[in-house]
Amino acid sequence: MLEPVFGAGAFAAGGHRLEQWLDTQSPEAMSFFLAWMRCQAGVRDTDVRGPLDDEPRQAGVASEGRLQHAITVQREQRQVEFQRLSTLLEGLPAGHPARSSWLEVDEFAQTLITSWPSATTGIARHAIEARGRSPGRSASRAGA
């Protein structure tokens, strides 16, 4: 049933897979090709491995009949988005606040601040004093 579309032996071990079908450049073949390329772009430049590492002509060659599931797993791995964000933030200039925050926060971040800020912990004095003001108090009475 698939032979007229994909060619004889396309899905046999060592077969040509989607090569002949893609060579037809039919609207369906081109739609598949573009969709595959978009999926590949979503995991490019990451360490996430899976079926999207293969070229469209060889799509699914290593998936053992579970191609859609394997693609979903590869694309949904949290690592993809994490790596993309990490690369973006680590590429910012050294003094950029977003880069500094990213590099300082990890699973131990809640232990970073162990006491309220004070004038000696690197927080500007005017910022600490401003915290003591309520909306109805004037600046001259904030410390009173």
How far, CA to CA in Å, does 27 sit from each of 1, 34, 70, 93, 137? 20, 11, 25, 45, 70
What tens digit of pLDDT does each residue of 61-108 get? 877 778 898 898 888 886 777 788 888 998 999 889 898 888 877 655
- Measured on CA atoms in the order 6, 9, 15, 20, is the torsion positive or negative? negative
Nearest to 46 by CA among 87, 91, 4: 87
What tens digit of pLDDT does each residue of 104-139 get? 776 555 455 556 666 666 555 565 565 555 444 344
Q: Does the predicted model carry a pTM greater than 0.85?
A: no
pLDDT of the residue at 127: 56
Q: Is the pLDDT of residue 27 over 50?
A: yes
Distance, CA of 61 to CA of 131 (rounded, Å): 62
Q: Which residue has the tokens 């772009």?
A: 41
DSSP 115: S
